[in-house]
Chain A
Amino acid sequence: MTGKIARWVARDVLRSIWLGLYTFFFLIITLSFFTFFDDPSRVLLSLLNLVLMVVPLVSMIFVLTYLHNNRNFIVLTLTQPVSRRSVFWGYWWGLAIPLQLALLVGMGLPVAFHLLAHRALWLASVLQVVGAMLLTQIFLGLAIWLSFAHEDRLKALASGLLVWLSLTFLYDGLLLVVILLASAYPIEKFAVGLSFLNPLDLVRLLLLMQMDVAALMGFTAEVFKKFLGNAVGTLAAVTALLIWIAFPTWMAFRNFMKKDF
């Protein structure tokens, strides 16, 4: 049943004009970056800003809006002889698949075509696309959580924006303040540790470490690489990202299962 629901949701979402625009936007941007910049690392770094800002924001707003526009229908679905579990996961997959497809077409395809011709920075390129997909999934989970936690559409949107703002800017702002205040101490390890807690920082640093920009980051990069160099570090990074997907999803699921609609 989950699969059936997911297929129908995905069919509906895939016809959304906004998703089309999102795909088109990334396609145009990625292609033009590859056309205008001769340097693949310049392309990746320019894309990185988009991936870190646009992907989470769009995922968040898109999912929140979709779920609220379809709230009454979701309720109707729940009055049919299907379990809540199926409805939840049906919507989770039904939203995730189109969003991921949009990224794959808008960004993955141009990157893949470019990789066919130029192998330079292939790992970083792949990481860029995978990172964007992970962030999509993370913000999808957060959006579903927030959507069912707030009955009011505006409240849900506002809290979604707040979460986005916090992870995108505020967290790094606080990190900067910590670094400035603790400048008397060797704080690199601590800063690297803090960066593991924010998925945006983690994805960004994982990508930068694959690029020659890492040389500019001196001791900080060394600490990061040293940590990632061993199995524990890699596991921690992967776990951190998976937790960022799993935790909001789990919270949303728990809430959905016992919620009064």
Chain B
Amino acid sequence: MINLALFLTVLVGQTPAPEKGVIEIDLQKTPSASPTLTVCGTCPRRSLREAIEEAPPGAVIYVLGGVYRESTLVIRKPLTLIGEDGPVLDGEGKFEILVVDSVDGFQIRGFTLKNAGISFTEDQAALKLKNSQNCFVEDNTFLDNFFAIYLENTHSCVIRNNRVRGPGRTESFSGNAIHVWNGYNIWIEGNHLSYHRDGIYFEFVRDSKIYNNVSENHVRYGMHFMFSEGNDFARNVFRDCGAGVAVMYSKHTKLRQNRFEFNWGGASYGLLLKEIDDTDIEGNVFYKNTVGLYVEGSNRVFVRGNTLEKNGWAIRVLGNSMALSFMYNNIVGNTFEASSNAGRSFNTYLHNYWDGYVGYDLNRDGYGDVPHRPVRLFTQLVEQYPPAVILLHSPLEFLITYAERLLPVLSPSVIEDDRPLMGRIVWSKSKDSSNDTDR
């Protein structure tokens, strides 16, 4: 088991080293000896709007504490905005607050942006960056905005350590916390996102890093991305969202050591994969989701070293997925271990630890001697005839399951792990701390 643990440490990988080389944000365009301006309630310059108009490209504007209600501020030149003592930009529930348009080199830190207006015709945001590059959004607070941080046709940006909290209304009344449409080289790290529609929303995003964020309590998805490629998600927490995390029509994605937890509801998924190709899902924890991992129409997805615990369904795999490799995962305490609508499987399930395994290991090599069939008869019935779920936890279900224990041939063979592990996998450097997070 120790060798296995070592092997897995290599397999799963250590904490991904920040690959700074990929993102080259050219901050040198803001000269070191930049001109500075100061805005405050008692200063000669009280209006941020005026400061922005007056500032030469590359200037640094210091904004001191106070509430600024200046409708929509549009920035069309490289600028650095630094808030000191927590200045607040208030959209008064009507306006977009900051719009950065076609700028190469923009920084904002230390601000609170709140009450960006709701609109049903356009995506009004607290901070919108469009057609821009080389930007830094750091240490800000976003409160009760429609959209919070919105990137459109923008690349090479760092969004770090922001606290974003939405109004938490219904889907149509709230926008996304971080919304990126058509961009690349985006580094999103250490943000705390909550109570928006989606926590992180990506559409047409390439080669970006999403590390160490916490995204929780969103109306819809903790993260939602589509038509994206080459993104790397690590050590994020996606928690307690209406529908969990949905990843669609994308490829070459890495999802490592994230936690998908407490996404519990009628249509919630820890992680939903739809038409996802060539993707690695490693070392994640799926805890207490209605469906831990849902895979539909995806090819060459490598699911390894994950822990799926106390979910309704640990995994659901639709039959149109191919060359899925599901290995060395822990599947513990789920209501249903697995379910699939397929007659036969073109996927590999091997060397996982299933706590529902009732086989034996006579030669003591750590692997069960008979295959494990995680799809139970009742699970299969429910998969094919959804109303049959009305018998959940009934004596009849008990009877069926008991019969399967006595006669394992009764279990459907849609999914089969030929060599299941006999004991739970414990990783040497345990990032797997699912046991202490019960709520």
Contacts and interface: CB of A to CB of B under 8 A. Distances in A.
Interface in B286-318: 290, 310, 312-313
B17 interface: no
Given A172-B394, A215-B290, A220 B385 contact: no
B264 interface: yes
Nearest to A41: B310
B21 interface: no
A217 interface: yes
A49 B396 CA distance: 10
Contact of A219 (B264, B335, B386): B386
Interface string A213-227: 101111111100000
Contacts of B396: 169, 172-173, 176
Contacts of A179: 385, 387-388, 390
Contact of B391 (A42, A176, A221, A222): A176
B346 interface: no
B18 interface: no
Contacts of B335: 213, 216
A220 B393 contact: no
Given A53-B395, A179-B385, A216 B390 contact: no
Contact of A212 (B264, B313, B388): B264
Contact of B265 (A52, A175, A215, A219): A215
B389 A180 contact: no
Given A39-B438, A176-B381, A215-B265, A201 B389 contact: no
Interface in B261-290: 264-268, 290
B27 interface: no
B323 to A, nearest CB: 29
Nearest to B268: A215
A218 B386 contact: yes
A5 B399 CA distance: 41
Interface string B307-348: 000101100000000000000000001011000000000000
A192 B389 CA distance: 11
B398 interface: yes
Interface in B373-407: 381, 384-396, 398-399
B71 to A, nearest CB: 44
Contacts of A188: 387, 390
Contacts of A140: none
Interface string A186-215: 011001100100001100110010001101
Contacts of B389: 216-218, 220
Contacts of B265: 215
Q: On chain B, which size bracket covers the interface?
A: 20 to 34
A149 to B, nearest CB: 25
B387 A191 contact: yes
A204 B394 contact: yes
Contacts of B268: 215
Interface string A59-97: 000000000000000000000000000000000000000
A164 B264 CA distance: 35
Contacts of B267: 218
A19 to B, nearest CB: 23
B438 A49 contact: no
A172 B333 CA distance: 26
A38 interface: yes
Contacts of B312: 213, 215-216
Nearest to B262: A212
B392 A187 contact: no
B356 to A, nearest CB: 14
A205 B390 contact: yes
Most chain-A CB neighbours within 10 Å: which of B264, B386, B387?
Answer: B387
Nearest to B398: A49
A172 B391 contact: yes
Interface string A134-148: 000000000000000
A215 B310 CA distance: 13
Which of B266, B398, B399 has the most chain A CB atoms closer than 10 A to its own CB? B266
A52 B394 contact: yes
Given A169-B395, A176-B396, A195 B264 contact: no
Contacts of A2: none
A204 B389 CA distance: 12
A224 to B, nearest CB: 8
Greatest chain A CB density within 10 A among B310, B312, B384, B391 is at B391
A53 B390 CA distance: 17
A71 B159 CA distance: 83
25 contacts: A38-B438, A49-B393, A53-B398, A172-B391, A172-B395, A173-B396, A179-B390, A183-B384, A187-B387, A192-B390, A204-B393, A212-B264, A213-B392, A215-B266, A215-B290, A215-B312, A216-B312, A216-B335, A216-B336, A216-B389, A218-B386, A219-B266, A219-B387, A220-B389, A221-B266
Interface of A: 38-39, 42, 45, 48-49, 52-53, 168-169, 172-173, 175-176, 179-180, 183, 187-188, 191-192, 195, 200-201, 204-205, 208, 212-213, 215-222
Given A173-B396, A218-B267, A221-B266, 12 more contacts: A168-B395, A169-B396, A176-B381, A188-B387, A191-B387, A201-B390, A212-B264, A213-B312, A216-B335, A218-B266, A219-B386, A219-B387
Closest 9 CB pairs of A and B: A172-B396, A216-B312, A215-B290, A217-B389, A168-B395, A179-B387, A191-B387, A220-B390, A188-B387
